[in-house]
Amino acid sequence: MNTSLRIAIVGAGPGGLTLARILYRHGVNASVFERERSPLERPQGGTLDLHAESGQLALQRAGLEDAFKRIARYEDQGSRLMDQHGRLLFEAPNPDAGDRPEVDRTALRQALLDSLPPDCVSWGASVTGVRSTGDERWTLHQGALTHGPFDLVVGADGAWSKIRPLLSTYQPQYSGLTFIEFGIDDADRQHPHLAALVGRGTLQVAGEARAIIVQRNANAHLRGYAIFRVPSDWGADHLSLPALKAQFHGWHPQVLALFDAANETLLARPIHALPVGHRWSHRQGLTLIGDAAHLMSPFGGEGVNAAMLDAAELAQHLLETPDCSSAVQAYENHMFERVIPAAQGSAEAAAIQLSHDSLALSLAHLHHHLTPQ
């Protein structure tokens, strides 16, 4: 690789920061542009399980195995399924036995940031567009400000990427499912009955075209998602705990108690996805990683893992191939095929979740994946 190449990464999510870190480890200083004003501007969301063959592999390539061990929660890999009447239908036998430990998103972002030089990320830099300089390079625009020129611009800017329209005409489509995110603080002390209900990992309660998923996060925080089928703008007018509870009218009081204990911060996350097999024709000096390239519903738990593996593979191609354009093409051609099974699986899951068969299907899925054979 020509180490004097100027590389811009748009977005300091898990994908963008993993790419910046691996390049930095090999002597290449990329510039990251992030619209949030600081790492703590907004809560980064819940817990993620990093898979050995993707998220964990990317952290190894980043030289962050030790940092990962410090933040990984191997003890929180449990899984429970209940129906709306509060009946326990499934419980994974060993919550601490798997190889998919949970990490909190904020801790993961901080571990990546700590491994980069302080001036690597420009905070408060909301990229509004990208323009060609006419000599195979690109400038980034942030309102009236211009950055660059850059030899390579990597769009790691998530679902509503500002880089993607230069490569693809596709926009994410609404899946019909909305997740309302809620949180319960200090559960072990303030709400021990709910901490016990959720257990060491994930509780899923499913029934009548609705579901509630609650995950144990670090610091005894419980993060829940109430999931149902409503128009994509439902959250704009209905975001309150009473409106949320009304969606689950008739469910077991032990389950509804989750809403009674929730704090006031509710977030609506209408779930969108790009089509399975989304791809584009290569364009010199531009590419996408992570959700910008292959946004999928969260049901497979693959999104962050795919984003970090994209970063690791793109970095490897760039570092090993003398010509930047050939490196990017090799990354793209492999990535387009690699993500198809995960995208297909999460599209199918989004279609069948909250259907009349969803409880039976969830039970079959858990038995298949979590019961020792």
Ligand X SMILES: Cc1cc2nc3c(=O)[nH]c(=O)nc-3n(C[C@H](O)[C@H](O)[C@H](O)COP(=O)(O)OP(=O)(O)OC[C@H]3O[C@@H](n4cnc5c(N)ncnc54)[C@H](O)[C@@H]3O)c2cc1C
Q: Report the binding-site residues for FAD.
A: 49, 105, 291
Kindly state the smallest distance separating residue 159's Cβ from ligand X, in Å.
Answer: 6
269 binding ligand X? (CB under 6 A):
yes
Torsion angle of alpha carbons 241, 299, 53, 304, nearest 10°? -50
Using CA atoms, how far residue 12 sits from 8, 44, 96, 149, in Å, is 11, 11, 31, 20
In this complex, which beta carbon is closest to ligand X, that of residue 192 or of residue 275? 275
- Using the contact rule CB under 6 A, the part of the chain among 195-203, 231-239, 254-262, 294-302 near ligand X is 294-302
Q: Which span (90-98, 242-250, 254-262, 298-306) binds ligand X, by CB under 6 A? A: 298-306
In the DSSP assignment, the letter for residue 354 is T
Number of residues interacting with ligand X: please give it, by CB under 6 A. 31
**Which residue, 40 or 192, has its beta carbon nearer to ligand X?**
40
CA distance 270 to 225: 11
Angstrom distance (rounded) from CA 358 to CA 186: 31
Stretch that binds ligand X, among 165-173, 243-251, 296-304, 343-351 (CB under 6 A): 296-304
Cβ proximity of 120 and 16 under 8 Å: no
Residues 156-215 touching ligand X, rule: CB under 6 A, are 156-158, 162, 179
The reply to whether 304 sits near ligand X by the rule CB under 6 A is yes
Q: Which of 96, 122, 136 is nearest to 5 (CA)?
A: 136
9 touches 30 (CB < 8 A): yes
- Asked whether position 291 contacts ligand X by CB under 6 A, the answer is yes
Q: How far is the CB of 29 from ligand X (least distance, A)?
A: 18
Closest CA to 346 of 271, 290, 292: 271
Nearer residue to ligand X within complex by CB, 254 or 344? 344
Residues 39-78 that bind ligand X (CB under 6 A): 48
Rounded CA separation 169/363 (Å): 38
The residues binding ligand X (CB under 6 A) are 10-16, 33-36, 48, 125-127, 156-158, 162, 179, 225, 269, 290-291, 298, 301-305, 307
